[in-house]
Amino acid sequence: NAGVTQTPKFQVLKTGQSMTLQCAQDMNHEYMSWYRQDPGMGLRLIHYSVGAGITDQGEVPNGYNVSRSTTEDFPLRLLSAAPSQTSVYFCASSYAGQGLTEAFFGQGTRLTVV
């Protein structure tokens, strides 16, 4: 079972560069989300999607774009990387609706912006 797959695992970017973090799930989950994890701050929600073609902003959306063209994929785009975006990024998915909302997480992407 692949579950939630994130690529790449590690990435170093220069300030101003753009890149896309990939996330794919094979569980037919409607709900997908992106979090960033910084030391001492837990996980903060960047963007989420309740289904193909529907996305919304989370707590810290600035500097990031998402799209959801298929149920399986939910890429996160950094438009112009900044050192403040150095973080570990996690993608998660879950069934939508009442009572079955445990989230499955990918292994993370460790991003460093220099």
Partner 1 sequence: SQQGEEDPQALSIQEGENATMNCSYKTSINNLQWYRQNSGRGLVHLILIRSNEREKHSGRLRVTLDTSKKSSSLLITASRAADTASYFCATAAIKGGGNKLTFGTGTQLKVEL
Could you list the residues that contact partner 1 (CB under 8 A)?
4, 31, 33, 35, 40-45, 48, 50, 58-59, 90, 92, 94, 96-99, 101-108
Strands 54-57 and 109-113: unpaired
Q: How far is CA 23 from CA 3, 41, 66, 90, in A?
A: 10, 23, 11, 9
How far apart are CB 27 and partner 1 at their closest, in Å?
13
Residues 6+ apart with CB under 8 A from 114: 12, 13, 14, 15, 83
Q: Between 53 and 97, name the residue whose CB sits nearer to partner 1.
A: 97
How far apart are CB 68 and partner 1 at their closest, in Å?
14
How far apart are CB 107 and partner 1 at their closest, in Å?
5
Q: Between 14 and 99, name the residue whose CB sits nearer to partner 1.
A: 99
Q: Between 19 and 96, name the residue whose CB sits nearer to partner 1.
A: 96
3-state secondary structure of 61: coil
